[in-house]
Amino acid sequence: MASGHRLKQHRLFALMGPAFIAAIAYVDPGNVAANITAGARYGYLLVWVLVLSNIAAMLVQYLSAKLGIVTGQSLPALLGSRLRPRNRILFWLQAELVAAATDLAEVIGGAIALNLLFGIPLLWSGVIIGAASIVILLFQGRRQNIFEAVIIGMLVVITAGFLAGLFFAPPQWSEVASGLIPRFKGSDSILVAASMLGATVMPHAIYLHSSLVNDHHTDPEVEHPHKRALLRATRHDILWALSIAGIVNIGLLLLAASALSGVEGTDTIEGAYHAIAHALGPTVSTIFALGLLASGLASTSVGAYAGSEIMNGLLHVNVPLLARRLVTIIPALIILGMGAEPTWALVLSQVALSFGIPFAIVPLMRLTRSKEVMGEYANKPLTITVASVIAAAIILLNILLAYLTITGQG
């Protein structure tokens, strides 16, 4: 009986992995900046935003994975087979812009980390990040398990790098508990909360997860179980992966609240780094920067992967990942070479992402509730209701964030 239980656990672990790749989208440099800002400005006030955001993300990513497992196709592929040629091209264009905006933020975030650690100019730092991401992508495809292992390893580095400071500046747990009560403190805190929630569910993570599950489960060394068993393993995968991502994000907010509260200039990654160095010492700030470097490297590799899957699904054009990586890094290098303020570039990328959210999340909800597409696995009424509320909240908050940013009120 015990050996049977161990075998069942072994098979379960063998089926896990895709969610850990998707989870990288939740600990990218943009999330770092948003959570550090929230903690530095408002202390523990907005802890509840991250808790609710993470719960919402778990459901959205599960629906994406379920769509891929049940249909055997990715979300982009399903849309590509249903849209008319002209609409398919237009949909692809917006999805590609979103993927490019994501890549922009990740490369810049990684470049900032190299600049902080070694003083390398931002442009050359961006080149190094791009080259390193190419090396990581070499493990993708036929060596999918190695690629997943590399990304999971980086997630470990990210977790350690961003949570290490909590050992030197532990939070006030009574204040953390009070931060679980939903409330705001003025209109500015609403804007910060909107940016935190609005940046939680990334469009490329939604597109990609439906593809990742099939890439993982077509491995000839992995036994193909019944779909229900696959879905059960996927729930475990998402629970573990996004719980880790949620802990990292909450940890960043707690670190800022305990060590950086009221400190000026922490609304940029560089400012947060220098503030951490001043408050907790160079060792902690170096570990933080290493976490940021791993975040940028992992995120930009996953972003390139997502962009390739989007093009393949919608246009049926299979562009080699490495060629795509070389092309998509160019906009980031141009911006870095122009000497633009990195935070400004990150802000613009987040606005672009906000416009892409409805195009990813609305089709996902429609397809997963369709009996024609999902059969017996179609969403139940309760899931439809909860998912619709989550989708509406995310879309509205992203629209609000984009509006306030464009009008200069953010």
Could you please report the per-residue DSSP string of 90-128? HHHHHHHHHHHHHHHHHHHHHHHHHHHHH---HHHHHHH
Q: Of the ranges 152-161, 170-179, 206-215, 322-331, which one carries the lowest mean pLDDT score?
A: 322-331
Q: How far is residue 177's CA from residue 45's CA, in Å, rounded to a whole number?
A: 10
Per-residue pLDDT of 95-113, as tens digits, reads 888 777 777 778 888 999 9
Per-residue pLDDT of 175-218, as tens digits, reads 999 999 988 887 677 777 877 776 677 888 899 899 888 766 55
User: What tokens appear for 316 in the block?
Assistant: 């049926």
Q: Report how far Cα 122 is from the mean position of its chain's Cα atoms.
A: 23
Q: Report how far Cα 111 is from the mean position of its chain's Cα atoms.
A: 18
Using alpha carbons, list the distances in angstroms from residue 271 to 4, 169, 268, 343: 53, 18, 5, 10
**Do residues 312 and 211 make contact, with C-beta atoms less than 8 angstroms apart?**
no
Average pLDDT, the chain: 82
**pLDDT for 184:** 82
**Size of the chain, expressed as the number of residues it contains:** 410
